[in-house]
Structure 1
Amino acid sequence: MNIFYYDVAIPIPIRETFTYECKESIQVGSRVLVEFRKKKVVGHIVKAVSKKPNFYTIQISEILDEEPIFKSNDIDILFWLADYYQHPIGEVFDTFCPPTLRKPVKRNIHSRNIQSEYKAFSNDKKVTLNKEQVESLEILNNLDGFDPCLLYGVTGSGKTEIYLRLTDTYLTKGKSVLILVPEISLTPQLEDRFVSRFGDNIGIYHSKKTAKQRYDIWERAQSGELKIVIGTRSAVLCPLNELGVIIVDEEHDQSYKQHEGFRFSARDLSIKRAQVEAIPIVLGTATPSLQTLRLVQEKKYKEAKLLKRANGFKPPGFITLDINDSQLESGIAKESLDAITNTLKENKQVLIFINRRGFSPLYECSSCRWIAECSSCDARLVFHHGLNRLICHRCDSAYGVPKKCPACNSSSLNLQGSGTERIELFLENYFEGTTIIRLDQDTTKKKGSLKEILEMVHKSESAILVGTQMLAKGHDFPRVELGIILNCDSGITSPDINSLEKISQLLIQVSGRVGRKENNGKVIIQTRYPEDKNLLELRSGDYLNFALNNLKQKKELRHPPYSAIALLRTTSPLAKHNINFLHQVNKSAKLKSDMSIIGPIPSIISKSRGNFRHHSIIQASSKIDLNKLIKNIIVLAGSWKETKKVKWYFDIDPIDYN
């Protein structure tokens, strides 16, 4: 009797596979049920072992798939991910397995091989492409093999129409198309455009879909029934048959980076997938990341440009409003309120951006200066009016609102500062009878609420939209003629290494929602730093010139993207354990002359959920050298006593130091 041996990846925080035996032959990429530490768990066959191991092996309990759920290309990509991000291989496989298939369910292959026909509806093709769009589409249609291309288009330049035409080209060839967006809030608008053009056989894949819905999309994509899938990070390895092109919308957006657990970048992963599949990838944005701009400069990526809006107008520039001597009402200056009044009289809409949800970010005692803070985190509590609670935005803990100061027993407790909720309530009173629409995490929790809010925006004539970054990204609000940005100063003064890139992208994206239909849009930035050189440079709205200057400075300073960086992050109930562990790393790491380790450093958010947080910044000239150094640290750390006292992980290509 033949015995077959296989390496199995199990979703646990261990960076290795485990060898099992089976009396049947199993295809690599299939799921199996195995015993691990006296429990039955779902694992993934990642390799057939040719020789009998010289150690005892356990029998595989059950084969769960008739056909593999991961193909050979997928497995290559998943191993690359585990190696590049230094994450346990079993957890990597589990991340890209549909939730339904993470359970020990048998998967039978149905005769569902339906080849859907897609045909662009001529009644939706009302748009006549302008010269720039025609030239850009020609560049994209001529991409061949692995051929990354930046589609740089100012806001409102018609990038979505280019996506639709490019999709039509690939569908005509019998190919499928994957479109990625950074946030769930951007899927309804894009879905509507694609359904209007190609019908309703469009797959939408993201975390707000049920496990059943996601599995259905996954199955239909693998069978060839679906040829268009739109999704967020989790859709990046959707198993589309005959994949022809990947489109990454808003490629600059930092939401493509996973912030917890397995911290991978879906944008970078999509580029790797295109490379392995040998297909083109289009990176669309009005505010390209510095990494992408560098690769365009070095001729490693092609570029197509849309420098004017589709209607021929340029996006609006900025007006900086010095608020140092202004009286603010709920954070809004009188000059801004006058501008809102004039815009509403013209029956137009106003967009107010503040990147802070809740009613007030500070609850303090005016007698002793006590401030309400979370007992588990290094964070101030935010007052939420609708809930009448103080909420920690780090750990979501909720507290009652004290009527007397816990420190001095004074009744002089005050709310300071404004969030979206406070501004909404103020505007409802100040502009009685005007429609006020709030878009943030709190108003979009219920199923279907996002779609309802967006429909209300489009149905309303005169209205004020108030929101966080959810409001600023990618939406088309044709009636918005005035934009007001309330709290950009925190971005200007941020110590974060990427702060300039972030704030410049954010300001351009917010301004991009304004004046899309007519040429009289206006954007006001309220600031206490009106002479800030970066604000002055951005006033014209020319992001590309600003970004190229920023890129030049990065090169001189040897900052990313001209070097490779990783954060070694640690958490522990005692700060000294983090510090001791990171000092041990400093002592043991073998650094080349072009490498450095800075740390231990308390994280900007120094405590979260009862644990202290520290990190070290590891920098090298190349990603290859950085990867080797990290692997060496992982091996060494396995034998240290300090390792057992902390939770630690590497954050490769970090987007913040929080």
Structure 2
Amino acid sequence: MSSLILQIALPSPLRRLFDYRAGPGLSADQLLPGMRVRVPFGQRQLVGLIVSSSSTSVVPASKLRSISELIDLSPVLPKSLWLLCIWTAQYYQHSLGDTLSCALPNLLAQGEAALARQDMLWQLLPAAYPEHPALRRAQKQKEAVRILAQHPHGLSHALLSQWGLARDTLEALERKQLVQRITQSPHHQREPLPLLREPHLQANAEQQAALQAIAAGKGFTAWLLQGITGSGKTEVYLQSIEHCLRDGRQALILVPEIGLTPQTVERFRRRFNVPLAVLHSGLNDRERLDAWLAAREGEAALVIGTRSAIFTPLARPGLLIVDEEHDLSYKQQEGLRYNARDLAVYRAHLEQIPVILGSATPSLESLHNVERGRYQLLRLSERAGNARPPQFQCIDIRSQPLQDGLSRPLLQAIGSHLKHGNQVLVFINRRGFAPTLMCHDCGWIADCRRCDARMTLHQQPAHLHCHHCDSQRPIDRQCPKCQSSDLRPIGAGTERTEDSLQQQFPGYPVLRIDRDSTARKDAMQQLLARVHSGAPCLLVGTQMLAKGHHFPDVTLVAILDADGGLFSADFRGPERMAQMITQVAGRAGRADKPGQVLIQTHMAEHPLLQDLCGPGYPAIAASELALRHSAGLPPCRYAALLRAEANLAQTAEDFLQLAADLALKYQLPVEILGPVPAAMERRAGRYRAQLLLLAEQRATLHSLLTPWLQQLELLPAARKVRWSIDVDPLDMF
């Protein structure tokens, strides 16, 4: 029996490693950290990764079990990514096994071989030609030879039907030794091509200065590229990537949402003649593994993906880019609660390569890092070409009649822009027909039965929907409280706004872009294609329209309700509102046509709206950062949030009170706030509460978290609640 003991990381929430005996005939030299093994775990077989080995174990020899199978002959992750996963687990106080499982494609985490799918191609042999004697009476085979002659590098088996070819015909040619089957990676580049498919644009002075600064840097530097909307940040990305590719290295580009991925991929494919891999949650497991392996083996020179793509291995890393770095989508809100933007910076440090964080509205965390000298700031303050920033104006809607949330001055402005052949974007960040349904007689409101929230009324299809727990039910026909049938929709969402605009402007198409209208595959691309046709139209949408899109024919952006973020209970509310309005306003006036932004509000004199209409986001960010300094709030202090939920509110709060009392015993300079109920206390039938920890130094906070969480796991009360820790939380409520 082997005396070698392996410490294995398994996909388990427990923050510990598991000891197993190595299999017979396996030595420490053969078993390296990062190799996958299959092991018995209870009644199941799990796939884990070797972390270390030793000759002893604290587990009694009689209870030690042996691994079932060694899956890999070499580590599945490169060293830098292995170190990134270890750091991620430690920093976010998460199980290493779970962290490694998140970093691997599903098929690898399940134990599949780390082998990419190969494309099968049919290729003519040198002896083949259409008038070959063996083809004298075989017209279909002659035609097949003619078609294959047009594809000297081979024709993919998947494309046979598009060329009218049958497999039987090709197999007959194969028996005559006139064609052969070959296999190769889908990302294989058959012959050297010029790097650029289209020449890069002429950089203006600010872009050139940014490019020179990035190119002159050696090793790791974190660059914050702050450029107003339409200033050409993407061109800086593209030319920085060109420099990286000419050095024979790979670039990884993160985008915040799947919806932005196709247009980003298309932009990069138009510019570069290199294999490109895409990773996001919309892929199936096989597609994701193939792209992951193409990046790891160096076949894909460019890798584009959403949040989880930060764990993609690169054979020759050269550059990391995080587009729209302020976006909340980079923060994972369940399980391993990592922030992909911050991991990109740490990974660039491990790889000793530059990282570019780009945004028109940088997060206060990134601006704070600039103040402290951790990031280097690059500014783009002018729009590219002849475009000019749009003009802002507030429409004071106090005492004004509104038609489905639309004021008369706004409707007149929309009509004027449409008549001049332009496009109009109407922004309302609420899905559905109306935020809720109310009884006009007794005031009953359609509340969610599982959450402290109201049901949203949808008409397409007709139903009530809670956007917090996803519960749905038919629309009430009578008030359950007073049996009145006078039930009315209150407020407006995207559906109601769409209907109202269709009635007001019947001669123009109204395109609604939200999560509901783009749920079908390719729906988003079809809608955007109609916008890019340039024909006059109205776009109605949520924050899906607020970033990354280039709409050269949009000359008016109308923001229907700007008041929601002015009095948010979240201290980040003003920052996020300013970012949202600035981003959506940036869709106007991006070409030669001047742009206009109209903001409907009941608070036209509010300082934040005045700053948006005047000096803009930089002034708001500076003011908010000063307020955070004075209040001792992140990013000026470091935070962790302990959340708990249970069937009874008291159970969750009792657990958090025990946790607070335990934390105080460490006598560290960490402020403990709470426990308090969450802003939405009941969600999906469970009651939620939270405990906030704040510290001046990151090291101080973590010196408490590590031993504290280990003790919390041992508390009997911890088994009565569902609890989690969120380091650097962005959602405090």
Range into which the TM-score falls when normalised by the shorter chain: over 0.9
2:401 maps to a residue whose letter is: Q
1:17 maps to a residue whose letter is: L
Matches of 2:718 and 2:56 in 1, distance apart? 35
Relative to structure 1, the CA distance from residue 108 to residue 534 in structure 2 (aligned partners, 3 Å threshold; closer, same or farther) is: closer
Corresponding residue for 1:619?
694
1:34-45 equivalences in 2 (<5 Å): 34-45=39-50
**Paired residue secondary structure (1:525):** strand
1:81 maps to a residue whose letter is: T
1:562 maps to a residue whose letter is: C
1:602-617 equivalences in 2 (<5 Å): 602-617=677-692
Is 111-120 or 130-139 further displaced after alignment?
111-120
Corresponding residue for 2:36?
31
TM-score, normalising length: structure 2: 0.87
Among residues 54, 68, 78, which one is paired with 2:75 in the alignment?
Answer: 68
Corresponding residue for 2:211?
137
Corresponding residue for 1:107?
114
Matches of 2:388 and 2:86 in 1, distance apart? 45
**Paired residue secondary structure (2:50):** strand
**Paired residue secondary structure (2:565):** helix
Corresponding residue for 1:55?
60
Relative to structure 1, the CA distance from residue 116 to residue 648 in structure 2 (aligned partners, 3 Å threshold; closer, same or farther) is: farther
Among residues 365, 371, 375, which one is paired with 1:301 in the alignment?
Answer: 375
Corresponding residue for 2:10?
10
- 1:176 touches 1:243 (CA, 8 Å); kept in 2? yes
Matches of 1:202 and 1:105 in 2, distance apart? 23
Matches of 1:146 and 1:3 in 2, distance apart? 43
Matches of 1:18 and 1:204 in 2, distance apart? 34
Q: Which has the higher contact order (CA 8 A, sep 6+)?
A: 1
Alpha-carbon distance, 1:592 to partner: 4.8
**Paired residue secondary structure (1:465):** strand
Corresponding residue for 2:675?
600
Matches of 1:290 and 1:467 in 2, distance apart? 26
Matches of 1:129 and 1:445 in 2, distance apart? 38
Matches of 1:2 and 1:414 in 2, distance apart? 74
**Paired residue secondary structure (1:68):** coil
- 2:105 touches 2:288 (CA, 8 Å); kept in 1? yes
Among residues 291, 299, 305, which one is paired with 1:231 in the alignment?
Answer: 305
**Paired residue secondary structure (1:230):** strand
1:609-648 equivalences in 2 (<5 Å): 609-648=684-723
2:51 maps to a residue whose letter is: V
Corresponding residue for 2:102?
95
**Paired residue secondary structure (2:729):** coil
The answer as to 2:220 corresponding to 1:146 is: yes
Alpha-carbon distance, 1:106 to partner: 3.3
1:452 maps to a residue whose letter is: Q
- 2:19 touches 2:59 (CA, 8 Å); kept in 1? no
2:16 maps to a residue whose letter is: E
Corresponding residue for 1:20?
20
**Paired residue secondary structure (1:296):** helix
Cα-to-partner distance string for 1:314-338 (whole Å, 9 max, x where unaligned): 4224211111212111111111111
**Paired residue secondary structure (1:151):** strand
Corresponding residue for 2:727?
652
Matches of 1:620 and 1:569 in 2, distance apart? 18
Alpha-carbon distance, 1:354 to partner: 0.9
1:268-347 equivalences in 2 (<5 Å): 268-347=342-421
Cα-to-partner distance string for 1:206-261 (whole Å, 9 max, x where unaligned): 00111111111011111111010110011002111110010111111111101222
Corresponding residue for 1:506?
580
Among residues 518, 539, 549, which one is paired with 1:444 in the alignment?
Answer: 518
- 2:274 touches 2:301 (CA, 8 Å); kept in 1? no
Alpha-carbon distance, 1:296 to partner: 1.4
1:255 maps to a residue whose letter is: S
Alpha-carbon distance, 1:384 to partner: 0.9
Alpha-carbon distance, 1:657 to partner: 2.2
Matches of 1:76 and 1:228 in 2, distance apart? 22
Matches of 1:247 and 1:351 in 2, distance apart? 29
The answer as to 2:451 corresponding to 1:358 is: no
Relative to structure 1, the CA distance from residue 531 to residue 366 in structure 2 (aligned partners, 3 Å threshold; closer, same or farther) is: same
Cα-to-partner distance string for 1:66-103 (whole Å, 9 max, x where unaligned): 33221222221111111111111111111111011122
Corresponding residue for 1:550?
624
Relative to structure 1, the CA distance from residue 97 to residue 335 in structure 2 (aligned partners, 3 Å threshold; closer, same or farther) is: same
**Paired residue secondary structure (1:163):** helix
Matches of 2:104 and 2:82 in 1, distance apart? 12
Among residues 498, 502, 507, which one is paired with 1:428 in the alignment?
Answer: 502
Cα-to-partner distance string for 1:270-299 (whole Å, 9 max, x where unaligned): 111111111110111111111111221222
1:91 maps to a residue whose letter is: D
- 1:438 touches 1:465 (CA, 8 Å); kept in 2? yes
Matches of 2:111 and 2:668 in 1, distance apart? 50
Alpha-carbon distance, 1:119 to partner: 5.5
- 2:280 touches 2:306 (CA, 8 Å); kept in 1? yes
Alpha-carbon distance, 1:123 to partner: 6.1
Matches of 2:593 and 2:648 in 1, distance apart? 57
Matches of 1:612 and 1:345 in 2, distance apart? 53
Matches of 1:108 and 1:133 in 2, distance apart? 41
Identity %: 38
Matches of 1:511 and 1:175 in 2, distance apart? 36
- 1:64 touches 1:107 (CA, 8 Å); kept in 2? no
Matches of 1:126 and 1:234 in 2, distance apart? 29
Relative to structure 1, the CA distance from residue 468 to residue 89 in structure 2 (aligned partners, 3 Å threshold; closer, same or farther) is: same
Relative to structure 1, the CA distance from residue 592 to residue 491 in structure 2 (aligned partners, 3 Å threshold; closer, same or farther) is: farther
Matches of 2:469 and 2:602 in 1, distance apart? 31
1:461-480 equivalences in 2 (<5 Å): 461-480=535-554
Cα-to-partner distance string for 1:541-587 (whole Å, 9 max, x where unaligned): 52112212221221122211110111111110100001111111222
- 1:30 touches 1:68 (CA, 8 Å); kept in 2? yes
Alpha-carbon distance, 1:651 to partner: 1.2
Q: Which structure 1 residue ranges, 4+ long, deviate > 6 Å from structure 2? A: 109-113, 115-118
Matches of 1:218 and 1:564 in 2, distance apart? 34
Matches of 1:339 and 1:51 in 2, distance apart? 77
Matches of 2:455 and 2:412 in 1, distance apart? 32
- 1:159 touches 1:284 (CA, 8 Å); kept in 2? yes
Matches of 1:622 and 1:126 in 2, distance apart? 44
The answer as to 2:160 corresponding to 1:85 is: no
Matches of 2:350 and 2:567 in 1, distance apart? 41
Matches of 1:474 and 1:42 in 2, distance apart? 39
Unaligned runs of 5+ residues in structure 1 are none
Matches of 1:277 and 1:526 in 2, distance apart? 48
1:498 maps to a residue whose letter is: R
Is 638-647 or 476-485 further displaced after alignment?
638-647
Cα-to-partner distance string for 1:363-399 (whole Å, 9 max, x where unaligned): 0111111111111111110111011110110111110
1:483 maps to a residue whose letter is: V
Based on CA coordinates, which of the two structures has the bigger radius of gyration? Answer: 2
Is 627-636 or 454-463 further displaced after alignment?
627-636
1:575-590 equivalences in 2 (<5 Å): 575-590=649-664
Corresponding residue for 1:172?
246
1:433 maps to a residue whose letter is: G
Relative to structure 1, the CA distance from residue 119 to residue 596 in structure 2 (aligned partners, 3 Å threshold; closer, same or farther) is: farther
- 2:6 touches 2:52 (CA, 8 Å); kept in 1? yes
- 1:320 touches 1:525 (CA, 8 Å); kept in 2? yes
Among residues 466, 470, 481, which one is paired with 1:407 in the alignment?
Answer: 481
1:47 maps to a residue whose letter is: S
Aligned CA-pair RMSD: 1.9
Matches of 2:358 and 2:194 in 1, distance apart? 22
Relative to structure 1, the CA distance from residue 10 to residue 2 in structure 2 (aligned partners, 3 Å threshold; closer, same or farther) is: closer
TM-score, normalising length: structure 1: 0.96
**Paired residue secondary structure (1:162):** helix
The answer as to 2:266 corresponding to 1:184 is: no
Alpha-carbon distance, 1:52 to partner: 5.7
Alpha-carbon distance, 1:50 to partner: 5.0
Is 513-522 or 174-183 further displaced after alignment?
513-522
- 1:589 touches 1:629 (CA, 8 Å); kept in 2? yes
